[in-house]
Amino acid sequence: MSNFQIIDTHTHFYDPSRPQGVPWPSKDDDFLYRTVLPDEYKTMTTPLGVRGTVVVEASKWFEDNLWVLKLAETEPFIVGLVGNLQLDSVDFEPHFEQVTANPLFRGVRLGGGVVQHLSDADLQKLERLAAADLQLDVLGNADVMPRVAELATQIPNLRIVIDHIGSARIDGKTPDREWAEAMQISAKPSNVYCKVSGLVEGVTDKMQPPPKDVDFYAPVLDLLWNQFGQERLIYGSNWPVSARYADYAFVQQLALDYFQPKGQDVIVKVFEQNSKAVYKWIDRLK
Is pLDDT at 85 greater than 50 in this prediction? yes
CA distance readout (Å), 266 to 36, 64, 229, 241, 256: 31, 35, 9, 26, 10
- The fraction of the chain above a pLDDT of 90, given in percent, is 95
Is pLDDT at 2 greater than 70 in this prediction? no
pLDDT of residue 32: 98
pLDDT-based confidence at 218, cuts 50/70/90? very high
Is pLDDT at 100 greater than 60 in this prediction? yes
The single-letter code of the amino acid at 13 is F
- How many degrees, rounded to 5, is the angle at CA 63 between CA 58 and CA 67? 80
Is pLDDT at 223 greater than 60 in this prediction? yes
Secondary element (H or E) of residue 72: helix 62-73
pLDDT of residue 286: 65
DSSP-based three-state secondary structure for 239: strand
Is pLDDT at 29 greater than 90 in this prediction? yes
Of 271, 284, 270, 274, residue with least CA distance to 5: 271
- Contact indicator for 13, 237 with CB cutoff of 8 Å: no
Of 266, 250, 167, 175, residue with least CA distance to 213: 250
pLDDT digits (tens, 9 = 90+) for 118-149: 999 999 999 999 999 999 999 999 999 999 99
pLDDT of residue 1: 43
Is pLDDT at 3 greater than 90 in this prediction? no
**CA pair distance 83, 69, nearest whole angstrom:** 10
pTM over 0.95: yes
Q: Is the peptide bond before 189 cis (omega within 30 degrees of 0)?
A: no
- How many degrees, rounded to 5, is the angle at CA 31 between CA 144 and CA 104? 60
| Backbone angles phi and psi of 89, in degrees to 5 | -75, 140
Is pLDDT at 283 greater than 50 in this prediction? yes
Q: What phi-psi label fits residue 166: left (phi over 0), alpha (psi between -120 and 50 degrees) or beta?
A: left
Residues 253-273 have a mean pLDDT of 97
**What is the per-residue DSSP string for 77-123?**
TEEEEEE---TT-TTHHHHHHHHHTSTTEEEEEEEHHHHHT--HHHH
pLDDT of residue 71: 98
Alpha helices in 88-217 (DSSP H): 92-100, 112-116, 120-131, 145-154, 177-187, 199-202
Residues 61-87 have a mean pLDDT of 97
Domains of the chain, CATH where assigned: 6-279 (3.20.20.140)
- Please give the mean pLDDT across all residues of the chain: 96
pLDDT digits (tens, 9 = 90+) for 194-215: 999 999 999 988 788 999 999 9
**CA pair distance 277, 279, nearest whole angstrom:** 6
Is pLDDT at 255 greater than 60 in this prediction? yes
Is pLDDT at 233 greater than 60 in this prediction? yes
